[in-house]
Amino acid sequence: MLKVRIFFFFCFTAHLLYAQQDKLSIENNSLASSGWQTYFSYNLISGIDEDETKMYFSSYNSIFSYDTSSFEIEKFDTLSELSGDEISAFYHSEDKNILVIGYSNGFLQIINLNQSLIINIYDILNKPTISSDKKTINHFFENEDELLISTGYGISVYNLNGYEFGDTYYIGNFASQINITSTYINANFIYASSPNLGIFRADINSNLIDYNNWETIYLGNIKELFIVENNIFFYTNSSIMSIKNGGVINLLNLDNQINNVNYSDSKILIITDNGCLIYNNQLNQLINFIDSEIYFTSFNQAAINNNKIYIGTKEDGVLIIDNISSGEFSYLKPVGPLENDIFSVETLNNQTWITYGDYSEYFNPYPLKFSGISFYNENLEDWFNIDKDTIPSQAVNLNNISINPFNNSNVFISSFHGGLIEIDNLNLTELYDNNNSGLESLLTTDPQYESIRISDI
């Protein structure tokens, strides 16, 4: 980011987690200053978990819960002592009432919801024998008092009572490190999935540290495992399969690519490139295909709670479908900006504007970034977001902002490829380029090429 401006409401944390070098630290989140407010984007929902009364949703670097009875939303972000890094996996334990959060850099955090405590675990993050590109936390599975952590290098066992690591299983050839996307224990066997390598299995009573005790029961491309009625299922790019008596059974083939599968409310919810399919546990389709294009978004994951379908989207937070036949739906997310990847911020008289454009340190606008604009009104304590679809397509790489000091509702924003846009009362009124102003295009050997690059106003 070429420009960083710090102002009153963007405080990601008053306490830097990484200033601590302890392997383990327990902190009460009440230590965070109650005078601060944090605003993150929850448009992209990457994961869903649930219990009887609450739904939990993860975004890029924060989590929020939704009480299905009281309709209350609770946020967990840097003000709650989350690290602010990219969340790659999370899990809610209903038995222990904890949230376990894994990050793409190997950092782990556990939030004890009963005691409002957060536990920071640095072991994987600081492990020198594991390269940084293999430290990603992919999946959690709770087995009594132990947590099986699937990672980019193998499987680690973490004790939830003693808050300490146990064994680590390197199950590749000659105990090599391989990427494990999911791990489950079922009927005295432990199963692990690895992309391109397939499914590994071992007797839970054997020496799991010894890679020789792990056998490959399915060889080929696989995404993740999941459990349906105490049976191991898994999915590939286009198929749903199950494991029975050590053999593999192909249950369902789809024309569209499968991106995610979740078992929720005794139903199998399949997310494809263009929508959501819902089956019962016998793989009989229950409802018609839920087309994501109808909602002008893309789907990531889905769950069912109290007969409502909750779908995590890539652009609009959580889509809640109350009644599929009547078409009733709504959206759920905490208020905030469009994105977390902010390029520029400008504030004047309690009004704040945010852009998300980009260009390199060498002033290269490519690849072009199409993004919207965010506006925060402190007096109203509310956010107003201008979607990218309402902005002219040539106005890309939006960067610097200039607020009219005599009329604060009049704002100019520069584009590092398309010229200059003018906004009045949150409505785009004009795009200035080389056709209607004195602005000039970059000169190249191609006479048809136009690029009006403004980096500051």
Sheet containing 299-305: which strands, arranged edge to edge?
A: 299-305, 308-313, 318-323, 328-332
Rg (CA), the chain: 24
At 341, list the tokens: 């990847």
**Cα–Cα dist 323/382, whole Å:** 29
**Cα–Cα dist 454/307, whole Å:** 51
Q: Where are the alpha helices (DSSP H) in 279-398?
A: none
**Cα–Cα dist 271/303, whole Å:** 11
Is residue 266 classed as helix, strand or coil in its secondary structure? coil
What was the pLDDT predicted at 288?
A: 86
DSSP category for residue 134: G
Is residue 295 classed as helix, strand or coil in its secondary structure? helix
Amino acid at 371: S
Bridge-based pairing of strands 117-121 and 215-218 is: unpaired
Q: At residue 12, does pLDDT exceed 60?
A: no
Among 99, 74, 72, 73, smallest CA distance to 87 is for 99
**Cα–Cα dist 114/116, whole Å:** 6
Among 325, 272, 278, smallest CA distance to 303 is for 278
**Cα–Cα dist 318/186, whole Å:** 32
Q: At residue 20, does pLDDT exceed 50?
A: no
Q: What is the mean pLDDT of the chain?
A: 91
Is residue 175 classed as helix, strand or coil in its secondary structure? helix
At 130-149, the pLDDT tens digits run 999 999 999 999 999 999 99
Q: At residue 90, does pLDDT exceed 90?
A: yes
The H-or-E segment that residue 284 falls in is none
Alpha-carbon separation of residue 284 from 105, 234, 288, 415 (angstroms):
40, 17, 11, 51
Across 426-431, average pLDDT: 94
**Cα–Cα dist 125/140, whole Å:** 17
What was the pLDDT predicted at 318?
A: 98
Other CB atoms within 10 Å distance of the CB of residue 254: 14
Amino acid at 308: K
Q: What percent of the chain has pLDDT over 70?
A: 93
At 131, list the tokens: 């390269």
**Cα–Cα dist 413/395, whole Å:** 10
Q: Any bridge partners for residue 186, and if so which?
A: 189
DSSP category for residue 316: S
The H-or-E segment that residue 246 falls in is none
Across 339-346, average pLDDT: 95
Cα diameter, the chain: 77
Q: What are the phi and psi torsion angles at 173 (to 5°)?
A: -55, 130
Q: What percent of the chain has pLDDT over 90?
A: 86
Is residue 213 classed as helix, strand or coil in its secondary structure? helix
Q: At residue 4, does pLDDT exceed 90?
A: no
What was the pLDDT predicted at 25?
A: 38
Across 350-354, average pLDDT: 96
DSSP category for residue 293: G
What was the pLDDT predicted at 192?
A: 98
DSSP category for residue 341: -
Q: Any bridge partners for residue 202, and if so which?
A: 190
Q: Any bridge partners for residue 279, and if so which?
A: 268, 285
**What's this model's pTM, rounded to 2 decimal places?**
0.88
At 296-316, the pLDDT tens digits run 999 999 999 999 999 999 999
How many CA atoms are closer than 13 Å to the CA of 382, on its beta-carbon side? Answer: 2
DSSP category for residue 342: -
Bridge-based pairing of strands 54-58 and 63-67 is: antiparallel
Peptide bond into 392 cis (omega under 30): no
Q: Is the dihedral of CA 384, 385, 391, 396 positive or negative?
A: positive
Amino acid at 144: E
At 385-408, the pLDDT tens digits run 999 999 999 999 999 999 999 999
Confidence of residue 287 (pLDDT cuts 50, 70, 90): confident
- DSSP result, 30-51: GGS-TT-------SS--EEEE-
Point out the least confidently predicted range of 89-98, 106-115, 185-194, 320-329: 320-329
Structural domains in the chain, CATH included, are: 17-332 (2.130.10.10), 344-453 (no CATH)
The H-or-E segment that residue 393 falls in is none
Confidence of residue 34 (pLDDT cuts 50, 70, 90): low
Q: What are the phi and psi torsion angles at 178 (to 5°)?
A: -130, 155
